Amino acid sequence: MATLSQRAAGAFVIQFRDEQRRRKTITLGRRFTEKTAKDLHEAVEKLVHCRDNATALDRRTTVWIETASAELQNKLADAGLIAKPQRHTLEELWDTFLAQKTEIKDSTRKTYDAARERFFAFFKDDELLSQQTQARMIQWRDTLRGDFAKASIAGTLTRTKTVFNWAVAQGWITKSPLDGVGRGSFVNRENDRFVLPEEYGRLLEASPCQDWRAIIALARIGGLRCPSEVLRLRWSDVNWERNRFYVRSPKTEHHEGKGGRVVPLFPALRAELERLFELESSVGQEFVITRYRDPERTNLGTQFGRIVQLAGVDPIPRPFDNMRASRSTEVYAEFGAYLESQWIGHSHKIAKDHSLQVREIDFDRAATAEPGKFTDSLSDCAAFLGAGAASSRASAVQSAAAGGCNPLQRCADKKKEGAVTP
């Protein structure tokens, strides 16, 4: 179907016939190697075969064409074997993708902007999209490991994969070069820090105003995300009579039925909100927090750092996340997994991977338990759960040690309810 020959001067010549049976010639100068000529000849034969038999081109040849040099792609296009290749650059890819993402939140756009900045710290703007390979993506990922935490790298790769998958959907490329490149884990326990109840009290005492006391209470006692959920709380969301309030959640609102949740008005939280509500500055106000709403002028993290210093509390990394995680741990221990998920506003998997912590009080309880009580309780759970419980028993103990949960209490709760799913 196609022939390959070499002229006396050293140039390679590939000849084949088009659909009208006219002879077509592709010439490669002496600077091309024999291997390149043979690879191109093989591609031409495959293309002619697929054209004549109305069949799809095999994956290997498709990838070879996509990763071939622009000059070789142009020769195939000029010979009528492929469409004129689209010369999309990496800069064009990111610009076009972000331009059409008009519906995403500002916080999400910032994560894409961060991923883009890290991407172009390694790649050049004018590199062709079609020239990118899995090997180069692995090289990029490996360079990130020297500068960023694992969870941050996982987020960067996830956003970048979304961009390349969009390019596939647009027909710019047939396969993402990030396919098969592991992103790593989002789980990062290095900065976990349980905020003790006594520390919470000292933070309140060091707060400069009642607004700040309410912010801290909403995060540490209510388990709200700060600032997104805290600053969206309205007085109309608070049901004083029924001791509960409604939390709007921008993080989960794109999931059906997850636009918000109802949270108990825990006594310690109610006390701080009542004090704020009774102030003259709160009269006629729509939102609970009014003094720190301007993101251009207010950095809650910086101000909270000053409060921590004034309170004489040890530094708290990721303070609002850790206050929320501390409350998640307490609610889980006291009320169980289902209510923790409903009130804190995340799945049990997210709680296990990112929120639940082991407290000193958990060690103290285990060390002072009555002799034999722990073993007997495990045996009781195993008998109740039925077949296969022996293996799940060990899993439950490991989960308790790693996540701060109490499988014995959960088993007892389920016995009372009369329903257990092994």
pLDDT at 372: 59
Predicted local distance difference test score (pLDDT) of residue 184 = 77
- pLDDT greater than 80 at residue 246: yes
- In angstroms, rounded to a whole number, what is the distance separating the alpha carbons of residues 190 and 187? 9
Cβ–Cβ under 8 Å, residues 285 and 235 = yes
* Token code pair at residue 368: 């002072």
Mean pLDDT calculated for residue range 6-14? 92
pLDDT of residue 38: 96
Alpha helices in 124-251 (DSSP H): 134-144, 150-169, 197-206, 210-220
pLDDT at 255: 62
- Phi and psi of 305, rounded to 5°? -60, -40
Cα–Cα dist 333/370, whole Å = 19
pLDDT digits (tens, 9 = 90+) for 127-136: 999 889 999 9
Of 385 and 102, which is predicted with more confidence?
102
Residues 6+ apart with CB under 8 A from 291: 209, 211, 281
pLDDT single digits (tens) 32-69: 999 999 999 999 999 999 999 999 999 999 989 988 88
- The pTM assigned to this predicted structure is 0.56
- Contact yes or no for 319/301 (Cβ under 8 A): yes
Phi and psi angles of residue 182, each rounded to the nearest 5 degrees, phi first: -65, 135
91 pLDDT more than 90:
yes
Which amino acid, one-letter code, is at 131? Q
- How distant, in Å, are the alpha carbons of 14, 252, 397, 413 from that of 419? 74, 30, 21, 9
Q: At 280, is the pLDDT very low, low, confident or very high (cuts 50, 70, 90)?
A: very high
Q: Does residue 165 have a pLDDT over 70?
A: yes
Q: Is the dihedral of CA 163, 165, 168, 169 positive or negative?
A: negative
